[in-house]
Structure 1
């Protein structure tokens, strides 16, 4: 498997995933809104690793974006062997006080475009009986998130969707992996108006999370949490706490200090 398509490739985890794949002599298709940043990354990867990087500018909040991306790779004759659905964003505040259009755009990027891209590229993978999909989900998908209600809900969707299709693909050589990181130090924090929340005080680096996710994808893991402590809490502590306590703790982690 050689060519990986990566959404949200202009920065953060997506950029690091592109670097990892290129370092293994894999070609990349870089997808994001910022053309200049993508072209700079393309030049960097091609010079450093001697691979081919293709740039596709797209805004995944637009309903036709996934189909446009697919048509672009088809027209260029590029076979996508690895699909990395990394693009996503959050937002802070009480749901009823937030701009509904922003939350609708969030749902489009985090869920709908992710589903559309998966459907478009998965069919070819199944036909070839070869392929890997990595969905960058979140530990946020394990609990409700007061003050980030829609974001946490979108990640719960991604966690569920990824595992369901993984089971459907269990009789093939195609795998679906959900990467569920905790807090990561990326542009996500500023873009989502999340500065000042305690959750990001000890955030992991994008590079470490990308490596964790890439390795999990290559193994065909069902789900990967990047931090052992978080995994323990989510699997063995939180499920046994009273629900109202979980919700209160979740909200406190999102309150600004």
Structure 2
């Protein structure tokens, strides 16, 4: 039995659960007998998913409709959990989005919302829930980062910077929680076949796309192991870890720029 299979009868909060990787995390955790709190903006999709998972796996699934890009969203989420009497054992920080284009032409408020969702809410929610996990001597935190966090990505400057933050934050948190009973993992997908690119655009995609199931399989297999972060897919791991260390900074930035240049496809 791996670590993820021992989570049965625990309670997990999954953010960004209404589609893609978040939905797959919810499905795989429910299959393991984990009760769920699903958080996203889309009430219809959350309620439909909650109904499906509850009837299929016999777990309790509670949808929470919340815009996590708001500065007060982590406080509001944890207040809602407290009102429910929820004791959170597993936190999956999956919610996030990317913008594609030059910063000089970007909407400042949208960039700020991206930082808030990808970084601010992730940190706020983790901080508010981690203390209880440490006190109970049990818990799991999974942060969804990205291969974009391993290097600078022109035309996706804010997104790659937020994911670099998530990588560093997760590694530090992994070090802080050693010996506490809390498992921490950062999962780094590359291009994945989700609605992510409906927002970011197809030019933001590099390489063949993996499936949400592959990404979540990788994450749950690595959870509780010896690594703070894991890259999904062998090719993605090669590019993220090896190439970014071997190539000098300037050529690496130029390659990344050409790869995701708007209008290049």
TM superposition score category, shorter chain reference: over 0.9
1:254 aligns with 2:252: no
SS at structure 2 position matched to 1:202: coil
Which one of the candidate residues 199, 202, 206 is aligned to 2:212? 206
Aligned to 1:195: 202
Measured against aligned partners, the alpha-carbon deviations of 1:101-160 in whole angstroms (never above 9, x if no partner) come to 111000000000000000010000000011000000001000001000000000000000
Q: What TM-score do you get using the length of structure 1 for normalisation?
A: 0.96
Q: What TM-score do you get using the length of structure 2 for normalisation?
A: 0.93
Provide structure 1 residue ranges, at least 5 long, that are not aligned to the other structure: none
1:69 aligns with 2:80: no
State whether residues 175 and 220 of structure 1, in contact with CA within 8 Å, keep that contact through their aligned partners in structure 2.
no
Aligned to 2:3: none
Aligned to 2:18: 10
Counterpart-to-counterpart distance in 2, 1:92 and 1:71: 34
Q: How far has the Cα of 1:207 moved from its partner?
A: 1.5
1:174 aligns with 2:182: yes
Counterpart-to-counterpart distance in 1, 2:209 and 2:20: 13
1:84 aligns with 2:92: yes
* Residues matched between the structures, number: 255
Q: How far has the Cα of 1:198 moved from its partner?
A: 5.3
RMSD: 1.2
State whether residues 83 and 134 of structure 1, in contact with CA within 8 Å, keep that contact through their aligned partners in structure 2.
yes
Provide structure 2 residue ranges, at least 5 long, that are not aligned to the other structure: 1-6
State whether residues 13 and 86 of structure 1, in contact with CA within 8 Å, keep that contact through their aligned partners in structure 2.
yes
Counterpart-to-counterpart distance in 2, 1:234 and 1:191: 23
Q: How far has the Cα of 1:220 moved from its partner?
A: 6.1
SS at structure 2 position matched to 1:56: strand
